[in-house]
Structure 1
Amino acid sequence: MSAPIRVAIVDDDPLVRAGLSMVLGGAPDVEIVAEAGDGAAALSVAPAADVVLMDIRMPIMDGLAATERLLAEEPAPHVIVLTTFDADEHVMRALAAGASGFLLKDTPPPQIVEAIRKVAAGEPILSPSVTGQLIRHVTAAGISTEARKAIEQLTDREREVALSVARGASNAEIAAQLFMSVATVKVHLGHVFTKLGVTNRVQVAIRMHDAGLV
């Protein structure tokens, strides 16, 4: 049996932390290893987790600043921003910092558990409203010359993989679509990350959208 996914809950509301602990406690493959009531406290406890559920508006240090600090270190946990606020600037700053997911607090509990599993496996997760925010951001920003130049570095195969990632496909789905092994997909994806200067799949999607390719 594989080790459980270690989760840290960061939220300034004790009732929210208790509710999430109750929800996640029912999942046999999830273990709560830490809790924190603000972003500053999260910096000392979150590195012990595989996945961090991070609120945005908190005292001392907000969740976006904490996410940026956490993901600037190695090794870094995966971060899912879980909030009641879905303003454009919050979404884009969290994703730009390297967050692997962005969910609203009204997301049904089973979907939160599934999001943790996907993010722990290296697949990003966004709520439908957040996906809409991303599309609106890209539409407003227009096609980025910088993104286009970055993507020109990719080989044809790497570009195919990047496009599939931008369309939300998992590694297994990409492997099936492009007739290659999952291991080969991971190798190509590693090259994509390096050439585009990104750290996760969501940032790949942003680059492809910014370049007007999706």
Structure 2
Amino acid sequence: MVRVLLVDDEELVRVALQRILESAPGIETVACDGPEALGLTRSTAPDVVLLDVNMPGQDGFSVLRELRALPEPPSIAMLTLLGSDEYLDAALRLGASGYLLKDSEPPLLIDCVRILAAGGVVYAPPQSRSVMGARINAPLPAPTPAKPRGLLTGREYEVLALLAAGLTNAEMADRLGVGMSTVKTHIGALKRKLNAPSRIAIATIAHREGLLELPSTR
């Protein structure tokens, strides 16, 4: 069962999204507005959070920062009516796993939730490709004092290569013959060691630093 937390200040939007998602088998939802998001995330442990960008009092990006600071944050996708380059770039910088439009077709929304729950990333607006390309080609942040090449284990290199190839957590677990929790642990280690806030950032750093050219050794 995929657990989804819907965070939006408009009740009509929350109800509409709940009806769409719960029409699909294997998805259950809980809904709230911005101030309740952190508490509900802690108490319900959702797999996916769909988070409205524009909310009065506490905007979606401030909620995103709070959720990303949790020890085991869920997969978070920003949800908006505006396909804004600025918003998309902010979502990438803050480590969101997705950026979706509220008027997305219901089948697309359901598919995106399943991809997010499996550890994938989804950026649905038409301009996402160009914005993400610009983000990936932008200068990297200052490197951490320790060299990534000497920090990663052989298994972490394997996970890094599969992540950069676009595999989901479930696909990586199947390929490596390990559990999903083990894959998540390795991804968490990669984020810490590479100083990367998201899966996209991990893959970007891996390509830029030439880490994928190294042979995997245990």
The interval holding the TM-score normalised by the smaller chain is: 0.7 to 0.9
Taking the TM superposition and a 5 Å limit, the aligned residue runs for 1:32-181 are 32-36=29-33, 39-47=34-42, 48-50=44-46, 51-127=48-124, 129-139=127-137, 141-142=138-139, 146=143, 151-152=148-149, 153-154=151-152, 158-159=156-157, 161-171=159-169, 180-181=176-177
Q: Distance in 2 between matches of 1:15 and 1:29?
A: 23
Q: Distance in 2 between matches of 1:144 and 1:68?
A: 19
Structure 1 pair 79–202 and aligned structure 2 pair: CA distance change class (3 A): same
> Which runs of no fewer than 5 residues in structure 2 stay unpaired?
213-218
8 Å CA contact retained: 1:34, 1:46: no
TM-score after normalising by structure 2: 0.74
Structure 2 partner of 1:31: 28
8 Å CA contact retained: 2:119, 2:169: no
Q: Distance in 1 between matches of 2:164 and 2:110?
A: 23
8 Å CA contact retained: 2:118, 2:168: no
Q: Distance in 1 between matches of 2:179 and 2:39?
A: 34
Q: Distance in 2 between matches of 1:85 and 1:131?
A: 16
Structure 1 pair 183–32 and aligned structure 2 pair: CA distance change class (3 A): closer
Equivalent residues, number: 206
Overall identity of the aligned pairs, in %? 36
Does 64-73 or 90-99 show the bigger shift?
A: 90-99
8 Å CA contact retained: 1:52, 1:80: yes
TM-score after normalising by structure 1: 0.75
Structure 1 partner of 2:16: 19
Q: Distance in 1 between matches of 2:210 and 2:82?
A: 27
- The code of the aligned residue for 2:15 comes to A
Structure 2 partner of 1:197: 195
The SS at the match of 1:44 is helix
Spell out, residue by residue over 1:114-172, the C-alpha distance to the aligned partner (whole angstroms, 9 max, x if none). Answer: 22222222222222632431211233x2455628x754344676446424423423356
8 Å CA contact retained: 1:138, 1:209: no
> Which runs of no fewer than 5 residues in structure 1 stay unpaired?
none
Q: RMSD value over aligned CA atoms?
A: 3.3
